[in-house]
Amino acid sequence: MSHGLPVYAMRLEMNQLELSEPSPPPARTAWFLRGMCAAFSVPGLILASAFIGFAGLARDAGLTLAQTVFMTGVVWALPGKVVLVGAIVAGNSLPAAAFAVALSSVRLAPMVVALAPEMRTPETRQWVLYLLSHFVAVTSWVLAMERLGRVPRPMRTTYYAGLGSALIILNMGVVAVVFLIAARLPPTLSAGLFFLTPLYFVTSLWGSARERAGQLAMILGLFLGPVFHILTPGFDLLTAGLVAGCAAFGIHLMAKQRETA
């Protein structure tokens, strides 16, 4: 009996040590946190700086703090939010404003189509992909396409959920803070910070283009934009993008035919 007590005490002490050690986090939790950390990168910070200008724009348009923060979370694409604020300032009706925002968001459909197969598995539910499509914007799409290849396929939806939610929460906080101090920012500074977004979009899309046809379409679009701004005002972006994209695609097909010939 005297020998059994020390052994029992040692086992009890070992069990207590095992219980006191923190258990490793589940795999999904770890990948979700990694996705959130990916949001705090140079692209994410540039996007946050662009939302500084948006907060000032919304304040000047007469929106309240609650409306601006709510818009940041629900209308997840900075150009769509700018279109909505412009419609509000112009006094457009609600259906007209909704149609304008929807039309500006159609450009995100190809990104969703390209990103969904990278995340889908046979076990992935459709509603998960529908929910994650809300997070699709240029910044989140570029970061995801760059990094999903290093993420195990079963964890890609979790990773992207962390990335997208972190970007939205981060920018909602930025908008809330800047909205309260927007009156103290010089208008030139706000406009300059807002201009960082299109610059980042152009450089990011250029770097993420998988084929030269995409880069050629961007070059043609930059040159055709001012031309169609004069020829078709109000539809310049649509016509320039359509013509540049079709021309780049045609040149790409001709180059492929020459290679195979």
SS3 of 60-120? HCCCCHHHHHHHHHHCCCHHHHHHHHHHHHHCCCHHHHHHHHHHHHHHHHHHHHHHHHHHC
Q: Please tell me the least confidently modeled range out of 7-21, 217-231, 240-254.
A: 7-21
Q: Where are the alpha helices (DSSP H) in 91-211?
A: 94-105, 109-119, 126-132, 138-147, 156-181, 187-208
Is the pLDDT assigned to residue 171 strictly greater than 60? Answer: yes
**The pLDDT value given to residue 258:** 82
**The length of the chain, given as a count of residues:** 261
**What type of residue is 37?**
C
Closest CA to 68 of 192, 183, 78, 184: 78
Report how far residue 175's alpha carbon sits from residue 160's, in angstroms, rounded to the nearest whole number.
Answer: 22
**The pLDDT value given to residue 139:** 84
**The pLDDT value given to residue 188:** 75
Q: What tens digit of pLDDT does each residue of 110-168 get?
A: 889 889 999 998 888 889 999 999 899 888 888 898 888 899 999 999 999 999 999 99
Q: What tens digit of pLDDT does each residue of 77-93 get?
A: 887 888 888 888 878 77
- Is 0.75 surpassed by the pTM of this model? no
Residue linked to tokens 């459709």: 126
For residues 46 and 219, which has the higher predicted lDDT (pLDDT)?
219
Is the pLDDT assigned to residue 260 strictly greater than 80? Answer: no
Q: Please tell me the least confidently modeled range out of 114-128, 178-192, 243-257.
A: 178-192
**The pLDDT value given to residue 166:** 93
Q: For residue 24, name the pLDDT band (cuts at 50, 70, 90).
A: very low
What the block records as the tokens of 93 is: 């009706």
| Spacing of C-alpha 69 from chain mean position | 17
Residue linked to tokens 């880069």: 215
Is the pLDDT assigned to residue 72 strictly greater than 80? Answer: yes
Report how far residue 105's alpha carbon sits from residue 96's, in angstroms, rounded to the nearest whole number.
Answer: 14
What the block records as the tokens of 30 is: 């770890």
Is the pLDDT assigned to residue 5 strictly greater than 50? Answer: no
Q: For residue 1, name the pLDDT band (cuts at 50, 70, 90).
A: very low
**The pLDDT value given to residue 172:** 93
